[in-house]
Chains A and B, each alone.
Chain A
């Protein structure tokens, strides 16, 4: 036992912290540490999806099962748990293995207009292997991947065209 006494302020609060809240909240460092620890410690981790950026495949409220990316290496089309500057996201991998192994990978929310920023492969923390409550990460995988790539390209072209036309 440690010597001395300690202040007992904020005593005995057991806070229920949902991963979904962590994912959406500012405590992204804690969320990441928590999820990485769980992904390393357990065969899989389940948590609820917040936000509709992956609907209709994974609508808000869907419980997903995620495994560490070492257990199921992500491939293009997979929905992955990825660390971005804005925090953790469940987005689709649209550029990465098997087409490229090194360098930058790209992810995108199915309903987002733009691709996410470039990300190193080790920022992919886990791969979604199952969804419940109506979500199925494998459903329409090829279609959603192709659509994500296409819409991302269109958005980039629009941005480029706007820049070209600017005086």
Chain B
């Protein structure tokens, strides 16, 4: 699987749902109609912030801009961490790439 780029648009995979539990934000993988608790990811605030922006419309530039605005971080660091994070989520199947044809279809 190729590494994510800042120009790409990602959407949350249908097999993964987010749930807020107390102060934690969990990504729960779905197996059939149930939850696979062994594959749960525990996101921190920043992770949850970005996860909510993987909406299939915003590209990496917009999400990084939102990060820089919201958190104390310089642009270069935010972009590097964003790409690392998106890569992790892609590797576990939590994200799907949105191609231009997907975007046209959904418009």
Contact = CB atoms under 8 A, between A and B. Distances in A.
A41 B21 contact: no
Interface in A56-76: 63, 65
Contact of B35 (A7, A10, A38): A38
A46 B40 CA distance: 11
B62 to A, nearest CB: 13
Interface string B25-50: 01110110111111111111111001
Contact of B21 (A6, A33, A63): A33
B10 interface: no
Given A5-B72, A6-B71, A14-B88, A34 B37 contact: yes
Chain A contact residues, majority secondary structure: mixed
B22 A45 contact: no
Contact of A8 (B24, B28, B71): B71
A15 B41 contact: yes
B75 interface: no
B42 A15 contact: yes
B38 A10 contact: no
Contact of A45 (B35, B67, B72, B92): B35
A45 B37 contact: yes
